Structure 1
Amino acid sequence: MDHNSIRNAIVGIAASALAFGALLIQTLKSKKQITRKCHVNQDYERENYINSILYRGDHNCINIIRMRPVAFFNLCDILTMNNLLHPSRSVSVREQVVIFLHIIGHNVRFRVIGSRYYRSIETIHRYFKIVLRAILKLYKLLIRLPVESTPPEIRNSPRFYPYFKDCVGALDGTHVRASVPLSIQGRFRSRKGGTTQNVLAAITFDLKFAYVLAGWEGSAHDSRVLTDALRRPRGFNIPEGKYYLVDAGYGIRNGIISPYRGVRYHLKEFSDHRPENAKELFNLRHSSLRTTVERVFGILKKRFRVLDAEPFWDFQTQVDVVLACTIIHNHIMGVDPNYLINEGLYEEFESNLIVSTLTAREEREEAIEWAAKRDEIAEAMWSDYMARNINLF
């Protein structure tokens, strides 16, 4: 091979190397440009999303965290002022509470929330637990037994006053879906099928919870759960001479008045099928008042979708979440829309009532006493009803 051939070959190799190098540099530049275009400022996006929830109108806020901004910021203030929540270096109290409310409001999985808020699953799980524990500590502040005076919803209605002047609320149970180990699923299987926990609640007529007992097996009868609540040292206390309305499944006992059995219950007082006697009239008005508890259960499950979906936590967390939802419900009912929580809310409730254990004979005697009280109410109600409607018969 002559010198010209060798030189040409060298020049060709050098040109190829230069061309490959230029192509490689161009490729690397393109990759850098692509990476730069896909970069997301997570802190900015997270803050922007939280602000869009809280500052773009009440409707959007309610859709995401199930309450208006006024109730949200007030809740954050309560948790902060009572030293129940603290901001960390990277997560504010506001973000902690938003994430918690987003999860229970829509039953969203931790990994989905983590993706939306640009947080790891571990971070979401940790702060969910922190906020849950903080909310539970508000139980004594927000869920309180009613005062002994006649509720205004009764006092201001001629249909209910003075007959139900000693009634302080309604009481009932509801079933919330539960996930439990296979070995105990039989105990938690409710009459309608599926595993549930039986939740007992006392409701006041301003649509607030006055007492909540969660965690009972779905197969447990409502009256059994009530008996447990009444026997607990710091359980459900009924002021002397006062009572709650319940459905027929509970029976009648001290401080508990159920409707008459074997008597029409769901009537329409002003229709063509008027009540025909004192017992029917009593059952009608008893039903009208007792539906308060059903309304509140409906509001609660509609607001917090986590209560009507298959849970993905351990059972104790499931119980705690039910309690947290009732606490937040009371907070919303107290703050929004008409007034702010007053300072009296922060006073811890202390009950002076003494819970006694009754013998079977004493329980039967009390049932007779309260059955007589029910008869007295029914007769007074019927007498007045007939006097007002004498011309219609």
Structure 2
Amino acid sequence: MLELLKNDTKRITHIPYETRHRIRQSAYFRMIHGSDLVCRQSTRMDRRCFAILCHLLRTIAGLTSTKVVDVEEMVAMFLHILAHDVKNRVIQREFMRSSETISRHFNMVLLAVIRLHEELLKKPQPVPNECTDQRWRWFENCLGALDGTYIKVNVPASDRARYRTRKGEVATNVLGVCDTKGDFVYVLAGLRRISCGLTHPP
């Protein structure tokens, strides 16, 4: 029996590197360059945004391709992990890469994104002392005004009890902070209770 198993393993054919590389490139190309719909499903951004992010990471953050993985594939792996909250082994299967390669390149992109914080995150300006807008004169030196609200959500039936409000709706708490122009500068979603006067649990 053991001899039979040994002989059986010899029949397993090894896929040449060139073939694996071609399959990998084809799968990656379909995921990112196939259509905006597929790209959005995989990375949560369309092809144009994906290309802009890769350009920023290359030119400003200094992210460069390695011998085995180019910048676009690194960013695609990084965004796919964040978008779908998947484990390393899932990415191994989808991108046909080793766990070490995925982990190393994920960290490279993460550090590059952190270096981009000056470009991506703008510091809000506080409300000036001499503000003439009647709505904002009480917010002197504040970064903005905050408020919370419920937003209806569609969740699996097993999770509905956690999201049920006092009025019986399925919703989640969202805290938003706006600047003087009405632009959101901060959003926090998913809290059970937020600091907008809600004192009773949902």
Check conservation: 2:32, 2:47, Cα contact below 8 A.
yes
CA displacement 1:68-98 (0-9 Å, x = unmatched): 1111110111111114311101110001100
Higher helix share: 1
Q: Is the aligned partner of 1:130 residue 2:105?
A: no
Q: Is the aligned partner of 1:143 residue 2:121?
A: yes
Deviation, 1:145, is 2.3
Structure 1: gaps (5+ residues): 1-26, 151-160, 174-191, 193-199, 213-217, 223-245, 250-393
Q: CA 1:171 to 1:130, structure 2 compared with 1: closer, same or farther past 3 Å?
A: farther
TM-score normalized with structure 2 length: 0.61
Aligned to 1:94: 72
Q: Is the aligned partner of 1:84 residue 2:62?
A: yes
**Aligned residue runs from structure 1 range 1-393, under 5 A:** 31=11, 35=13, 41-147=19-125, 162-165=133-136, 169-171=144-146, 202-204=177-179, 205-209=182-186, 247-248=196-197
Check conservation: 1:143, 1:209, Cα contact below 8 A.
no
TM-score normalized with structure 1 length: 0.33
Q: CA 1:82 to 1:172, structure 2 compared with 1: closer, same or farther past 3 Å?
A: farther
Check conservation: 2:127, 2:144, Cα contact below 8 A.
no
CA RMSD of aligned residues (A): 3.8
Check conservation: 2:176, 2:184, Cα contact below 8 A.
no
The residue type paired with residue 196 of structure 2 is: D
CA displacement 1:171-203 (0-9 Å, x = unmatched): 479xxxxxxxxxxxxxxxxxx9xxxxxxx9855
**What is the distance in 2 between the residues matched to 1:112 and 1:58?**
22
CA displacement 1:43-89 (0-9 Å, x = unmatched): 11111112112222211111110001111110111111114311101
Structure of larger gyration radius: 1
Deviation, 1:101, is 0.1
Deviation, 1:104, is 0.4
**What is the distance in 2 between the residues matched to 1:129 and 1:61?**
22
Deviation, 1:209, is 4.0
**What is the distance in 2 between the residues matched to 1:206 and 1:73?**
25
Q: CA 1:43 to 1:140, structure 2 compared with 1: closer, same or farther past 3 Å?
A: same
Structure 2: gaps (5+ residues): 1-6, 149-161, 163-174
**What is the distance in 2 between the residues matched to 1:134 and 1:123?**
17
Q: CA 1:49 to 1:170, structure 2 compared with 1: closer, same or farther past 3 Å?
A: farther
Check conservation: 2:32, 2:76, Cα contact below 8 A.
no
The residue type paired with residue 164 of structure 1 is: R
Q: Sequence identity, in percent?
A: 30
Aligned to 2:171: none
